[in-house]
Structure 1
Amino acid sequence: MSRTLNLGILAHVDAGKTSLTERLLHTAGVIDELGSVDAGNTQTDSLALERQRGITIKSAVASFVVDDVVVNLIDTPGHPDFIAEVERVLDVLDGAVLVVSAVEGVQAQTRVLMRTLRRLEIPTVVFVNKMDRRGADGQRVARDVVEKLETDAPIYFGSAITGVGVDDLVAGVTSSLPSIDPVDGPLAGTVFKVERGRAGEKVALVRLFSGTVRVRDRVKIGDSAGKVTAIAVFEGGAAPRRATARAGQIAKLWGLDVRIGDTIGVAHRDRVRHFAPPTLETVVESHDRVALHAALEQLAEQDPLINLRLDGDDIVVSLYGEVQKEVLETTLALEYGVAVTFRETRTVRVERPQGVGEAVRFIGENPYAATIGLRVEPGPAVFRLEVELGSLPRAFFTATEEAVRGTLRADRVHDCTVTMTHSGYSSPVSVAGDFRGLAPIVLREALRRAGTATCEPMHRFRLEIPADVLTAVLAALSKVGGVPLTTTATVLEGFVPAARVHELRRRLPSLTRGEGVLESEFDHYA
């Protein structure tokens, strides 16, 4: 029985990642002719918008066979606005190829990706691409890989366009990265992508870590369950329908009501966030609000970090950057027939409780057949009980906790511990909806009494500069609210408001004669 290697292709934008994927598929005999990113006819950039813009927006899976190893190749976006797509893929990888341009060298995004791969202990090889280009310097880039990425990963050199060095890369990948034998045991899988079929049905892309799933199996999905109505498995350059899928494989499953990140069967590992959350948001407007909201709900299934929410009458989505906004606008127009406009992008701000606040509403003193008392205070985001479990039916406790967590999320309240101090109901009048309706009222009153502070996102930055411009750069940092924590003649590290990073990046070339290199990523709210 063949082994499986689920391999991610990661890179900074324009390093040649999708061209490398195309070359690997051609080398393996999966495709007869090479596609081109510029021509818009590659295998993995299948969306019309990807072909139009020449960038990868959604992760895509392709498959080929080397000896007895089935390689599932997962092409990911390189643009930082689509880092959420990369995050979802990391949970299903056995190994990775990090692509670096031999011309541009190690970029800020390259460092972010390598740090994450190292933290997750994903075995990685580096491919220095574009060795055929004018200005390519393999030795310089190899030094940068070792020094700037702080890695001893195997390094291969070549060109995705000419094919030079690709055979060596394939040999290195299949020999040095871990392929997986089928694992017996209970079914365990992770949904890393959700698509829509031709009839509009959900199709879940799942990496199976152990066990086997069959057509017509009823499978556990978190706290619920669903029946698998069809299966397709990636193999040999296609995804043919199959009766079963086994551990190690990536499969498409039909019939399940799932979201990205859902566990199929038993949990393989705790899911954690690998990259910073979006720190920008915008209001989306359309003449057809009903169609807009329905379309955004479907898109939120595919990208939960959109964080679709209602703010009064406004429909709000979260963003990583302006390119993501342009893609969202085009997607809504092309795929859903909804024309939209956006208000100006703004920075996501959050609230934190500053003290302790309590509120209580009793039955007979409010419109609901419920009594709820809540206390809020600074602390971890947990919901606690100071009332006896037997004082309410369990469904009423659950409804209260869900309403509290939903309100904190909608109001963007962070670092808030909530304790239930009073409870009561009237049988048989009270229903769970009474507690869902009353909890937000009591919670907001408790927060008002505690007092809250508005906090903005802060980025941790690292800035490399020529030594002779240090004074000018420090002055520019001060103007945008940056706070250096460590400073040498050529390297500054510290914090800067997320809202001012774009301004700093725009001014940097003129301040540093084009030699400054700025890396930044979300760190905390302050």
Structure 2
Amino acid sequence: MKKLVVGILAHVDAGKTTLSESMLYLSGRIRQLGRVDHQNAFLDYDMQERNRGITIFSKQAIINWKDVEITLIDTPGHADFSAEMERTLQILDYAIVVINGLDGVQTHSETIWNLLSHYHIPTFLFINKMDITSYSQEHLLGNIQSRLDEHCFDFTNQDEIFFESIALVDDDLLDEYMEHQTIQTQSLIPYIQQRKIFPVYFGSALKTDGVTVFMDALDTYTKEPCYPDEFGAQVYKVTHEGGHRLTHVKIVGGSLKTKEKIKDDEKVDQIRRYSGHKYEMLEIATPGMVVALKGLSSIQPGEGLGYKQTSLSPLLSSYMNYRIVLPDDCDQHQMLKNLQQLSQEDPTLHVTYHQELDEIHIQLMGEIQIEILKNIIQERFHVDVSFDQGQILYKETILNPVEGVGHFEPLRHYAEVHLLLEPLEVGSGLQFETDCSEDVLSRSYQRLILTHLQEKEHLGVLTGSPITDMKITLLCGKAHQKHTEGGDFREATYRAVRQGLKMAQSILLEPYYQFRLEIPSTCLSRALYDIEQMHGTFEMPDTSLETIIIEGEAPVACMQNYHQEVIAYSKGKGKLSCSLKGYQPCHNQDEVIEKIGYDSETDMHYPTGSVFCAHGAGFYVSWDQVRSYMHIQSGLKEKTVSTSQQTTRTYANEDEELDDIFTRTYGPVQRRLADDYYRKEPVQESMQVKMKPECLLIDGYNVIHAWDELKDLASVNLGSARERLIDILSNYQGYRQCLMIIVFDAYKVKDNQGTLEKNHNVYVVYTKEAQTADMYIERVTHHLASDYRVIVATSDALEQTIVIGRGARRMSSRELKLEVEALGQEKFDEFLRKQEKSRNFLLEDIQKLKTKE
């Protein structure tokens, strides 16, 4: 029996859950048909779902039908929960799109279709409510073909016209049809799988009309994926049930057994296979199964396990930012931990703590999601919270390519980075790569810079909003043989990004709705006037009909509450549906910038200038002057293009090329000699950068399990792994000359009082009973933050968030490994260079003796 994972997706009220219910009933999985309006649907078992009559959380059910076992994934249809729906697309073999026969294709239906195209998922369509619609099958099929894809074909009527239409899809199909006057079923399967053909079926899910034929089609026209023997799994969801964290995955290769160790040495305690709210316990999960794993603590949605790589970046994201208002007696830091747990279940929540304002902010997609979240917080954590009015989440991008430069050189520190920032098409997100020779900068330092580029959300210089639609390329960089230490390249990289943004022409982006407005013809002039006032665009509708449909795009900021006005002026006869289109240039950029009042020059957390050194002290150079202080030449290279319509330039050498580029872009370049980098004039006290001593706090076991070498050693002898880590970090501390504290968990050791000992040049802490390493690090961070620049090395996402709130900087375990390797390689290269100066060869000595004789 072939196994398939099939997702069912639709616009709200299309009958998606009803179709799921009908399929479960006909397959014998349930004995009685449930209904959404009766609050007894098999898959809508959550109380909030039953009360509201909508699907909020994706759930699964197992259906056996003829020769196929279907894991059916029911997804939310409301636009507020689109991110939950998108996460399920990572694991689907096929998708079912349900279209409401009363309305045809809606704007959210098009959003779903674009997502399925992005994830390349073969799709079947079921046109529902055909028992009560006034539209014919031909009309609805034409609507689908014009708005979704012209290769959507009615598979319920396989006559001569059907095969003639199918034959035009591909030459091979045309040859088969011309030879046999028909096309075999087996010939259609690969075209459906490759998204070249989309089967369409009609029926009524509530009355089970056409559902049997549709399920037969899922058996006939589908093919089970081929899975490799090597273990692999795709994580798509995290939930919490009964105090336990469940990681939901699809097995895409090999098998997984209980008590088996997987990524980061985490062990699977249980394997659960759900169908509705019930589950069966499995000893082994095989390819094609969708299961929930108990016992994993840090794996996040979107991650791949085994051979499986991380999935595509999601297309949908929240576009509203809200401040959470807590009761006076609520522990803010405990609530932050609780919200981080919720953000594991829904990463688009994007919980952040603003230290300056002492506020917690969260990103959401609409009013219904707010109400659901408030109820979840009350039920799970017993706290009544509220949300403020909310603000539009803007983004920023650039219009022209520029080179950003960053330099960080206070006393005994050194790093320089040059980055190329280039604009990309709308919706491209951020892309990172390197175009730097290893002769210029070692591979380990290049990897470290790319890690710094990807590890955080970089902010623009117009409003302090996140940047997007940009490609950032490492051009070149420089380290010092002696003084480059941990964090130097982080500082230089961040400053290079910001300096580049200041050099570029930045623009503000805002979220746009794609809308569909259905109104009586008497309201047309009012609607068109409103759309123009909201800075929207639209297609001119057919004005000869009694009911007019207007489709277009408009800024979210202008159209947020417009549905209430539509109901008012149409006397309840109008209907507005919106879905998020994406980000486009802001319609009132100057007004928004002035209102936000962001000053990039006073943002201490995101500096735009660089730090240089003279006379034993660091001094700050503003972004517009920093280029003339740089120690290495630009990494920009102009490509010559030989075309009749484009002026080309050729250069005698690279210096001449760079001179020309900079002269045309920034004006004449003033070259500096090496001595010019040390100012002859006294440095003003206000310009000097006084650095606090550095303290590095390291979560020992977290690092051990994150480094492959130590993880393998720990599987044999944990004590040896600890000693090896201490030796590595002791050597590392010798280079950095910082206060280093390595913390190991010992909270499970009964009657343990905890110890603090100095091992060589580092402090080693074993926590006391009932005290975790996280708790110890939080306390020490708070205590030392006023006197030290505290950096915490851990890959625990929750712990990283908390220490930032305590005033520390974070460093992942992987990043620590890269810095240790990079610094060690630099020191070794320095040793070899010194050896070469004094080397002596035996043959040279013999030759000298012969000469003397």
Q: How far apart are the structure 2 equivalents of 1:384 and 1:114?
A: 31
Q: CA offsets, 1:359-381, max 9 Å, x none? A: 5434335xx83424445644354
Q: How far apart are the structure 1 equivalents of 2:114 and 2:141?
A: 12
Q: TM-score, normalised by structure 1?
A: 0.83
Q: Does 1:423 align with 2:478?
A: yes
Question: Match for residue 229 of structure 1?
Answer: 269
Determine if contact 1:352/1:453 at 8 Å carries over to the other structure. yes
Which of 286, 303, 328 is 2:373 aligned to?
A: 328
Q: CA offsets, 1:3-23, max 9 Å, x none? A: 112222222223332233233
User: How has the CA–CA distance of structure 1 residues 144 and 164 changed in structure 2, closer, same or farther, with 3 Å as cutoff?
Assistant: closer
Which of 218, 226, 243 is 1:173 aligned to?
A: 218
Question: Match for residue 296 of structure 1?
Answer: 339
* SS of equivalent residue, structure 1 residue 91: helix
Question: Match for residue 158 of structure 1?
Answer: 204
Write out aligned runs for 1:207-286 (5 A): 207-219=250-262, 221=263, 226-234=266-274, 239-256=279-296, 257-267=298-308, 271-273=312-314, 275-286=315-326
Question: Match for residue 716 of structure 2?
Answer: none
Which of 343, 349, 353 is 2:394 aligned to?
A: 349
Q: CA offsets, 1:202-236, max 9 Å, x none? A: 322212233322334444x5xx5644333233579
Question: Match for residue 125 of structure 2?
Answer: 125
* SS of equivalent residue, structure 1 residue 414: coil
Which of 383, 401, 419 is 2:450 aligned to?
A: 401
Write out aligned runs for 1:437-452 (5 A): 439-440=493-494, 443-448=497-502, 450=504, 452=506
Give the superposition deviation at 1:489.
4.4
* SS of equivalent residue, structure 1 residue 408: coil
Higher alpha-carbon deviation: 104-113 or 74-83: 104-113
Higher alpha-carbon deviation: 149-158 or 395-404: 395-404
Q: How far apart are the structure 2 equivalents of 1:517 and 1:101?
A: 16
Q: TM-score, normalised by structure 2?
A: 0.53
User: How has the CA–CA distance of structure 1 residues 483 and 303 changed in structure 2, closer, same or farther, with 3 Å as cutoff?
Assistant: same
Question: Match for residue 521 of structure 1?
Answer: 580
Structure with the larger strand share: 1
Question: Match for residue 475 of structure 1?
Answer: 529
> Which structure has the greater CA radius of gyration?
2
Q: How far apart are the structure 2 equivalents of 1:518 and 1:327?
A: 20
* SS of equivalent residue, structure 2 residue 76: coil
* SS of equivalent residue, structure 1 residue 82: helix
Q: How far apart are the structure 2 equivalents of 1:236 and 1:330?
A: 22
Higher relative contact order (CA 8 A, sep 6+): 1
Determine if contact 2:440/2:477 at 8 Å carries over to the other structure. no
Determine if contact 2:397/2:423 at 8 Å carries over to the other structure. no
Q: Which amino acid aligns with 2:239?
A: E
Q: How far apart are the structure 1 equivalents of 2:96 and 2:35?
A: 20
Q: CA offsets, 1:280-336, max 9 Å, x none? A: 221223243212211221111111122223344332222221111111111111112
Q: Report sequence identity in percent.
A: 24
Q: How far apart are the structure 1 equivalents of 2:435 and 2:104?
A: 57
Unaligned runs of 5+ in 2: 154-198, 425-429, 544-548, 586-853
Question: Match for residue 379 of structure 1?
Answer: 423
* SS of equivalent residue, structure 1 residue 252: strand
Which of 349, 359, 364 is 2:410 aligned to?
A: 364
Determine if contact 1:63/1:235 at 8 Å carries over to the other structure. yes
Q: How far apart are the structure 2 equivalents of 1:407 and 1:519?
A: 28
User: How has the CA–CA distance of structure 1 residues 173 and 138 changed in structure 2, closer, same or farther, with 3 Å as cutoff?
Assistant: farther
Determine if contact 1:102/1:129 at 8 Å carries over to the other structure. yes
Question: Match for residue 143 of structure 2?
Answer: 147
Determine if contact 1:30/1:237 at 8 Å carries over to the other structure. no
Determine if contact 2:9/2:75 at 8 Å carries over to the other structure. yes
Give the superposition deviation at 1:60.
0.2
Q: How far apart are the structure 1 equivalents of 2:323 and 2:277?
A: 41
Q: CA offsets, 1:411-434, max 9 Å, x none? A: 50224436465433575x754345
* SS of equivalent residue, structure 2 residue 302: coil
Q: How far apart are the structure 1 equivalents of 2:49 and 2:270?
A: 28
User: How has the CA–CA distance of structure 1 residues 332 and 503 changed in structure 2, closer, same or farther, with 3 Å as cutoff?
Assistant: closer
Question: Match for residue 308 of structure 1?
Answer: 351
Q: Does 1:412 align with 2:466?
A: yes
Determine if contact 2:321/2:392 at 8 Å carries over to the other structure. yes
Q: Does 1:499 align with 2:557?
A: yes
Give the superposition deviation at 1:118.
5.6
User: How has the CA–CA distance of structure 1 residues 130 and 334 changed in structure 2, closer, same or farther, with 3 Å as cutoff?
Assistant: farther
Give the superposition deviation at 1:358.
4.3
Determine if contact 2:319/2:364 at 8 Å carries over to the other structure. yes
Determine if contact 1:392/1:423 at 8 Å carries over to the other structure. yes
Q: CA offsets, 1:457-511, max 9 Å, x none? A: 2345566777776554432222111234x54645766542121233444444566
User: How has the CA–CA distance of structure 1 residues 326 and 236 changed in structure 2, closer, same or farther, with 3 Å as cutoff?
Assistant: closer
Q: How far apart are the structure 2 equivalents of 1:271 and 1:383?
A: 15
Question: Match for residue 97 of structure 1?
Answer: 96
Q: Which amino acid aligns with 1:265?
A: G
Q: Which amino acid aligns with 2:303?
A: D
Q: How far apart are the structure 1 equivalents of 2:90 and 2:34?
A: 28
Q: Which amino acid aligns with 1:447?
A: L
Question: Match for residue 338 of structure 1?
Answer: 383
Q: How far apart are the structure 1 equivalents of 2:467 and 2:55?
A: 34
Q: Does 1:194 align with 2:242?
A: no
Q: How far apart are the structure 1 equivalents of 2:487 and 2:283?
A: 43
User: How has the CA–CA distance of structure 1 residues 180 and 354 changed in structure 2, closer, same or farther, with 3 Å as cutoff?
Assistant: closer
Q: CA offsets, 1:91-125, max 9 Å, x none? A: 22223333344555543323433454466342313
Higher alpha-carbon deviation: 231-240 or 296-305: 231-240
Give the superposition deviation at 1:390.
6.7
Q: Which amino acid aligns with 1:521?
A: L
Determine if contact 2:537/2:553 at 8 Å carries over to the other structure. yes
Supply the RMSD in Å over aligned alpha carbons: 3.6
Determine if contact 1:64/1:236 at 8 Å carries over to the other structure. no
Q: CA offsets, 1:15-52, max 9 Å, x none? A: 33223323332333333444443454433223332233
User: How has the CA–CA distance of structure 1 residues 167 and 404 changed in structure 2, closer, same or farther, with 3 Å as cutoff?
Assistant: closer
* SS of equivalent residue, structure 2 residue 369: helix
Q: How far apart are the structure 2 equivalents of 1:385 and 1:157?
A: 54
Higher alpha-carbon deviation: 72-81 or 351-360: 351-360
Question: Match for residue 625 of structure 2?
Answer: none
* SS of equivalent residue, structure 1 residue 43: coil
Determine if contact 1:117/1:124 at 8 Å carries over to the other structure. no
User: How has the CA–CA distance of structure 1 residues 234 and 415 changed in structure 2, closer, same or farther, with 3 Å as cutoff?
Assistant: closer
Q: How far apart are the structure 1 equivalents of 2:35 and 2:15?
A: 11
Q: Which amino acid aligns with 2:346?
A: D
Q: How many residue pairs align between the two structures?
A: 510
Q: How far apart are the structure 2 equivalents of 1:267 and 1:7?
A: 20
Give the superposition deviation at 1:61.
0.7
Write out aligned runs for 1:16-27 (5 A): 16-27=15-26
User: How has the CA–CA distance of structure 1 residues 398 and 308 changed in structure 2, closer, same or farther, with 3 Å as cutoff?
Assistant: farther
Q: CA offsets, 1:167-209, max 9 Å, x none? A: 3443333333x15276343233311111224343x32221223
Write out aligned runs for 1:457-472 (5 A): 457-461=511-515, 471-472=525-526
User: How has the CA–CA distance of structure 1 residues 450 and 156 changed in structure 2, closer, same or farther, with 3 Å as cutoff?
Assistant: closer
Q: How far apart are the structure 1 equivalents of 2:512 and 2:69?
A: 43
Determine if contact 1:93/1:122 at 8 Å carries over to the other structure. no
Determine if contact 1:88/1:192 at 8 Å carries over to the other structure. yes
Higher alpha-carbon deviation: 4-13 or 377-386: 377-386
* SS of equivalent residue, structure 1 residue 21: helix
